[in-house]
Structure 1
Amino acid sequence: MGKESIILASSWIIASLMLLFFVPENRIRHAWLIFLFKQLMTWILGLLVVEYDLIEYPVEIFKYANKTSFTFEYFVYPVICVVFNLHYPGKKTLLKQFIYYLYYCTAITVIEIFIEKYTNLIKYIHWSWYLTWITLYITFFASRKFYVWFFKL
């Protein structure tokens, strides 16, 4: 088993454990909505990024079905978005809320940089780390606004 397979399997396990331990039982409906909304965004954006040759995913789970990273685009990022939204510091100051966004977007971007540099899971063609950070911020922001609107929080 190569390092790419280990990373993919670990990502599935860690993301599943995040759902198990960080989603309260009384907010499973909320988690589903956030998860599906984030999947919708990553599906569209992921396909655009791959089709315009901005990013390439040399190691894929479903090579013939989709050129995006199924693990990250359809499972890991949506799970992280669920945790992000369910534990969002909505009653804190705007500065603390911005730091919360900064923390999540930066942590994911740093991990992606290492994955891009040291594995074949992702390859930047016409892409850069700051574009990852910006798209993460926008999708987290959009999912937060949708979540608050939908449940009238």
Structure 2
Amino acid sequence: MSIEIAIQIASIVLIGILLILFVPRDKVRHAHVIFFFKQLLTWFLGLLVAEYNLIEYPIRFFQNATKASFTFEFFVYPGICVLFNLFYPEKESFLKRAVHYSVYSTGITVFELILEVYTDAIIYIRWTWYWTWITIALTFLASRWYYRWYRGDFTKPPRVRYE
């Protein structure tokens, strides 16, 4: 088994374990909504990036079906997005929320960059690490808005404080 396949299998197993351990029982339905929405985004964007030869995934599952990385676009990134949203510091300062975005986006970007430099799992053709960071951050932002919409945050009347 190649190191690339081992990394993909380990990533799937690790994300599965993290989701089982850290998604509260009362938030499983929310986790599904977040996961599927992020899949919608990453699958579409991943296909665009792969089909336009911006990134190449030489060693991947389902090589005859897609040029995109099934493991990362369809399972790992959505799984991380679930944790990002469920543990988002909603009531904290802007700085803490910005750090939350930065930590998650940077973590994924660094992992992808390590794969790009040291393995054949991913090859940047006309792509750079900052495009990864930007697209990850924007898809986190979109998933955050969608999740807030799903919870009804945008339809609740504002609270009026009578003093």
TM-score category of the 2 structures, normalised to the smaller one: over 0.9
The residue type paired with residue 70 of structure 1 is F
The 5 Å alignment of 1:37-76 reads 37-76=37-76
Aligned AA (1:52): Y
Instruction: Report runs of 4+ in structure 1 exceeding 3 Å deviation.
Output: none
Do structure 1's residue 141 and structure 2's residue 124 form an aligned pair? no
Query: SS at 1:92's partner residue?
Result: coil
For residues 62 and 48 of structure 1, what CA distance do their matches in structure 2 show?
Answer: 17
In the alignment, which residue of structure 2 is the partner of 1:105? 105
2:2 corresponds to which letter in structure 1?
Answer: G
Output the amino acid matched with 2:6: I
Q: Distance in 2 between matches of 1:26 and 1:114?
A: 36
C-alpha RMSD of matched pairs (Å): 0.6
Structure 2 counterpart of 1:110, one-letter code:
V
SS at match of 1:6: helix
1:19 maps to a residue whose letter is L
Report the counterpart of residue 21 of structure 1 in structure 2.
Answer: 21
Aligned to 2:84: 84
Residue 7 of structure 1 is matched in structure 2 by 7
Q: Distance in 1 between matches of 2:42 and 2:84?
A: 16
Q: Deviations over 1:7-63 (max 9, x none)?
A: 011001101011101100110000000000000001110111011110000001101
**Aligned partners of 1:13, 1:6: CA distance in 2, in Å?**
11
Q: Does 1:128 align with 2:128?
A: yes
The structure that is helix-richer by fraction is 1
Counterparts of 2:46 and 2:107 in 1: how far apart (Å)? Answer: 19
Structure 2 gap segments, 5+ residues each: 154-163
CA distance in structure 2 between the aligned counterparts of 1:133 and 1:86, rounded to whole angstroms: 21
Distance in 2 between residues matched to 1:11 and 1:42, nearest whole Å: 16
Q: How many aligned residue pairs are there? A: 153
Matched residue type, 1:91:
K
SS in 1 for 2:61: coil
Write out per-residue CA displacement over residues 76-113 of structure 1, whole angstroms, 9 at most, x where no aligned residue.
00000000000000000011000000000011101111
Checking the alignment, whether the CA contact within 8 Å between 2:5 and 2:60 is kept in structure 1 is: no
Percent identical among aligned pairs is 53
Q: Counterpart of 1:32 in 2: which secondary structure?
A: helix
